[in-house]
Structure 1
Amino acid sequence: MAMPKWERIARIFLCVLGLFLSVYALHVELSRERNPDYRAMCDLGESVSCSKVFTSRWGRGFGLVQLFVAKDSPLNQPNSVLGLMFYTLQIGLGLSLSKKAVMLLVSSSWVSVAGSLYLAYILAFVLGDFCMVCVSTYIINFALLFTNLRRRTAIEGMKEKAE
C-alpha cells in the first residue's frame, strides 16, 4: 500500500510548520530570558503575548515537570523542545507504513491533543492570554491527529481486504 499523496503533503506541511513554530517559540523564550525587554513579533499587547506564555511556569514541562524535579533541571525542558521532538517523530514515523508506526503516530497524536487542550485551558483561564503561536500549534496537532486516524483507517481497511 502506498501512502496517499494528500497525506504525504499534509504531513510534511503540518510538521514543517510545527517545527518552524517550535523553533520560533524557543527563540522567543531564550531571547526573553537573556533580555527581559525583548519584544517578540507575536507580542501584540498585554493580553496577546506569546513571550509572556513561553516564559510562564507552564512554558516548561507543561508546568508539571517542576512539581517533581528542580525548576532548572535538564528534565524541565521548554514545551517548544517537546514540540520539536514530536514533529520530528511525526515526520519520521510518517515515512513508514507499518502497523506499529501507525499505532505510535496515533497514540503520540492523542497525547499532543491532550497536551494542547490542557495548555489551551491554562492559556485562557489561568494566564488570561492569547498566544497566536500556541493556538496555531494546537490546530496543527488536531490536524495531525486527523491525518493519523485516516491512515489507521486506511491500513485497517487494507488488512480486511487481504483477509
Structure 2
Amino acid sequence: MSSSKSSNGVPKWERWARVMLCALGLILSVYALHVELSKENDPNYRAMCDLAESVSCSKVFTSRWGRGFGLVQLFAEKDSLLNQPNSILGILFYTLQLGLGQMVSVTAAHFLVMASWLSVAGSLYLAAILVLVLGDFCMVCVSTYIINFALMYINLKRRTGLSGKQKKKTR
C-alpha cells in the first residue's frame, strides 16, 4: 500500500511537482543562456523560439533587461561581473529551490517562500517590461513566470503545513 507522504513527511505530489518544475525551469534557463550567448557571438543566429518580429526570445534575452534585470547597469558597467544574464539567476534559483526543497524544516520553508516572492516580483517586473517596453512575447520567459508562480504555491503550502505541525507540537 503506498502512502501519500514520503519518508520525510513531504507529500509525494509536492516532491514530484517541485522536481518537475525545477527541472523545467533549469532547462529553460540553460536554453535562454544558450540563445543569448549564441546571438551575441553570431548576430545571424535564429533561435527556435524566434517565431516572428514580435515573438522573439533572442530579442528579449539580448536586450538591456536580459542582464541584471536591466537594473544593474544603473550602478555598474554593462560588462561588469555583477551584470550577469537573468538566465544565470534562473539557474541559481531553480537549483536552490530543488536543493532546499529536499530539506524539511521551517527555516528552509521560510527561505523557499522568500526566494519565491523575489522570483514572482522579478517575473511581474519582467512581464511588464516585456509588454510595455519591448512589445514582445517571449514563450520561454512566460513559461518561467508560470513556473515561478507554481513554485510559490508549492512553497506556501509547505510553509503552512510545517508551521501548523510546529504549532501543534508546542501545545
Q: TM-score, normalised by structure 2?
A: 0.94
Match of 1:72 in 2: 79
Q: 1:125-154: per-residue Cα shift (whole Å, max 9, x none)?
A: 000000000000000000000000000110
**Structure 1 position 160, deviation (Å):** 2.1
For the residues of structure 2 that align with 1:77 and 1:101, how far apart are their CA atoms? 26
SS for the counterpart of 1:44 is strand
Q: Percent identity of the aligned residues?
A: 72
SS for the counterpart of 1:29 is helix
For the residues of structure 1 that align with 2:77 and 2:167, how far apart are their CA atoms? 50
Q: 1:46-74: per-residue Cα shift (whole Å, max 9, x none)?
A: 00000000000000000000111100001
For the residues of structure 2 that align with 1:56 and 1:137, how far apart are their CA atoms? 17
Q: 1:66-123: per-residue Cα shift (whole Å, max 9, x none)?
A: 1111000011000000000000000110010111111110000000000000000000
**Structure 1 position 161, deviation (Å):** 1.9
Output the aligned Cα RMSD. Answer: 0.7
Match of 1:109 in 2: 116
> Match for 2:93: what amino acid?
F
Match of 1:139 in 2: 146
When Rg is computed on C-alpha atoms for both structures, the one with the higher figure is 2
Q: 1:9-41: per-residue Cα shift (whole Å, max 9, x none)?
A: 000000000000000000000000000010000
For the residues of structure 1 that align with 2:75 and 2:97, how far apart are their CA atoms? 28
For the residues of structure 1 that align with 2:64 and 2:122, how far apart are their CA atoms? 15
Alignment partner of 1:118 is 2:125: yes
Residues 10-159 of structure 1 mapped to structure 2, 5 A cutoff = 10-159=17-166
Matched pairs, number: 163
SS for the counterpart of 1:3 is coil
For the residues of structure 1 that align with 2:74 and 2:102, how far apart are their CA atoms? 36
For the residues of structure 1 that align with 2:147 and 2:28, how far apart are their CA atoms? 10
Name structure 2 gaps, 5 residues minimum.
Answer: 1-7
Name structure 1 gaps, 5 residues minimum.
Answer: none
